[in-house]
Amino acid sequence: DRDFLIAPSILAADLARLGDEVHDVLEAGADWVHFDVMDNHYVPNLTFGPPVCKALKDYGITAPLDVHLMVKPVDRLIGDFLEAGAASITFHPEASEHIDRSLQLIRDGGAKCGLVFNPATPLYYLKHVLDKIDIVLIMSVNPGFGGQSFIPEALNKLREARELIDASGQDIRLEVDGGVKTENIAEVAKAGADTFVAGSAIFSKDDYAATIADMRRELDR
Ligand code: DX5
Ligand code: ZN
């Protein structure tokens, strides 16, 4: 069966103690570290960039840093994130002038690449790149903020993406981002997701290990 990965979004961490927060959540059993990059242009919020990514590497974080670019333009940040140690970089197709080129820039730099689909963005951008991507990321909230509620229609899109991925025969992770929590993670997995971003659901709790264990228990059901 598919293996499930949990990727806490550091957007919801205590940013004044970011290194320790990331360390703690990995100790607690997280697999990837989800790194939300917002530019106050593509999305109405501003977060962090390559220097913070590099600082986490220098702090000793060895788990994969999963960089989610909510920026426009896309390409000029890719090189900096590759150098900063990103393991994967995903971007929104409507934010890139040349999607194939952006994907190639990421892969050529040795990172996994992927496309992100907003709640109302159809999956047609996938059609000609399924052999060139490692990740499909389905947004289950509108990008820009943590702590929003899961949009149920995302379940239909996950099912559709799962069918496309399986039919392609390619090794592609199906990631979901926004409003994922212990209470809905089983249903989200059933719709086809195998990689789960969770920000507030994890960092708002005192016991990260217990929360992640609860999520895995739900996934095993
Ligand atoms: C939203 C971000 C998400 C967000 C998820 O734009 O891409 O990664 O941090 O946060 P929660 O899990 O709180 O919805
Ligand atoms: Zn994200």
What is the distance in A from the centroid of ligand 1 to the CA of 57? 22
State how far the Cα of 76 lies from the Cα of 101, in Å rounded to an integer: 12
What is the distance in A from the centroid of ligand 1 to the CA of 171? 25
Q: What is the pLDDT of residues 192-204, one digit of tens each?
A: 999 999 999 999 9
Pocket, ligand 1, Cβ cutoff 6 A = 9, 11-12, 34, 36, 68, 141, 143-144, 146-148, 177-180, 197-201
Please indicate whether residue 177 is annotated as part of the active site.
Answer: yes
Q: What is the pLDDT of residues 33-77, one digit of tens each?
A: 999 999 999 999 999 999 999 999 999 999 999 999 999 999 999
Tell me what pLDDT residue 124 has.
95
- What is the model's pTM? 0.98
- Choosing from 6, 10, 11, 148 the residue with most ligand 1 atoms within 8 A of its CB, the one to mutate for a pocket test is 11
Domains defined for the chain, CATH in brackets: 5-220 (3.20.20.70)
Average pLDDT over the chain reads 98
Average pLDDT of the residues in 164-189: 98
Checking if the pLDDT of 28 tops 70, the result is yes
Checking if the pLDDT of 2 tops 90, the result is no
Q: What is the pLDDT of residues 97-152, one digit of tens each?
A: 999 999 999 999 999 999 999 999 999 999 999 999 999 999 999 999 999 999 99
Tell me what pLDDT residue 221 has.
87
- The DSSP annotation for the chain comes to -PPPEEEEBGGGS-GGGHHHHHHHHHHTT---EEEEEEBSSSSS-B---HHHHHHHHHHT--SPEEEEEE-SS-HHHHHHHHHTT-SEEEE-GGG-S-HHHHHHHHHHTTSEEEEEE-TT--GGGGTTTTTS-SEEEEESS-TT-SSPPP-THHHHHHHHHHHHHHHHT---EEEEESS--TTTHHHHHHTT--EEEESHHHHTSS-HHHHHHHHHHHHH-
Contact residues for 20 (Cβ-Cβ < 8 A; gap 6+) = none
Q: Read off the pLDDT band of 27 (50, 70, 90).
A: very high
Comparing 84 with 221, the larger pLDDT belongs to 84
Among all ligands shown, which has an atom nearest to the Cα of 203?
1
Sheet of 33-38, strands arranged across? 5-8, 195-198, 173-177, 135-139, 112-117, 88-91, 65-70, 33-38
